[in-house]
């Protein structure tokens, strides 16, 4: 679900990036071995890419969610936002890196019930936070806590929502082509 509108500004690449964007793209290239097309689009406003990368790193390193749980959160948000690029990228990460069970990944990709109670509760609470704009009800939080999550994780989901809002919305207006690294996991929604 990209916007009808597509930004006309040229992407910032390693070859043409300004002084603010270039170090961000160089770090991505050093870390990933390539610069994702999404980053080149976000770098049109370097503060967007910088904020995204910082928040993403904090969520990955400090959220306390295990890698499969992190992917469930990111995939849930990206699906709700209709971001094919992020659904594809996080599907690849879920499959190849984060050890998300295949049946869980397929359930999220196809908007079906998740066959793991804990991960289903995580996805359900993430959806509540998304749909209520961060105003969960008492019963929603109780169900989340009863699934074994600590109350601090509510705020970690807020961080994930902020990070994915930056990437999903940027992708909607930038229309980045899907990188080859994610093509095997392309998602059309």
Q: 8 Cβ partners below 8 Å, 6+ apart?
A: none
Average pLDDT score over the chain: 97
Question: Given a cut of 90, is residue 130 above it in pLDDT?
Answer: yes
Residue 189 pLDDT more than 90? Answer: no
Delimit the domains of the chain by residue range.
66-185
Q: Reduced to 3 states, what is the DSSP secondary structure of residue 150?
A: coil
Percent share of the chain, pLDDT over 70? 99
Residue with tokens 């976000």: 42
How far apart are the two ends of the chain, measured CA to CA in Å? 8
CA distance to 49, 118, 142, 145, 159, per residue, from 149 (Å): 30, 9, 10, 5, 16
CATH topology of domain 66-185: AhpD-like (1.20.1290)
Q: How far apart are CA 52 and CA 12, in angstroms?
A: 16
Is 120's pLDDT higher than 60? Answer: yes
Tens digit of each residue's pLDDT (9 = 90 or more) over 12-71: 999 999 999 999 999 999 999 999 999 999 999 999 999 999 999 999 999 999 999 999
pTM of the model: 0.96
Per-residue pLDDT tens for 137-165?
A: 999 999 999 999 999 999 999 999 999 99
Above 60 in pLDDT, residue 1? Answer: no
Handedness of CA 16, 18, 22, 25 (dihedral sign): negative
**What is the Cα–Cα distance from 35 to 176, expressed in whole angstroms?**
12
pLDDT at 11 over 60: yes
């Amino acid at each position: 679900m990209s916007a009808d509108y597509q930004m006309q500004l040229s992407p910032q690449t390693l070859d043409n990036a300004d002084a603010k964007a270039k170090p961000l793209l160089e770090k991505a290239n050093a870390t990933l071995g390539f610069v994702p097309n999404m980053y080149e689009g976000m770098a049109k406003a370097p503060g967007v890419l910088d904020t995204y990368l910082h928040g993403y790193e904090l969520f990955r390193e400090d959220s306390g969610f295990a890698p499969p749980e992190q992917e469930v959160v990111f995939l849930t948000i990206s699906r709700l936002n209709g971001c094919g690029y992020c659904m594809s990228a996080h599907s690849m990460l879920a499959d190849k890196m984060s050890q998300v069970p295949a049946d869980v990944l397929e359930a999220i990709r196809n908007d079906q019930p998740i066959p793991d109670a804990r991960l289903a509760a995580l996805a359900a609470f993430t959806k509540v936070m998304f749909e209520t704009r961060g105003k969960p009800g008492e019963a929603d939080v109780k169900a989340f806590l009863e699934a074994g999550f600590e109350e601090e994780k509510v705020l970690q989901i807020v961080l994930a929502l902020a990070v994915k809002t930056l990437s999903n919305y940027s992708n909607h207006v930038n229309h980045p082509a899907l990188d080859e690294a994610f093509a095997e996991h392309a998602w059309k929604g």
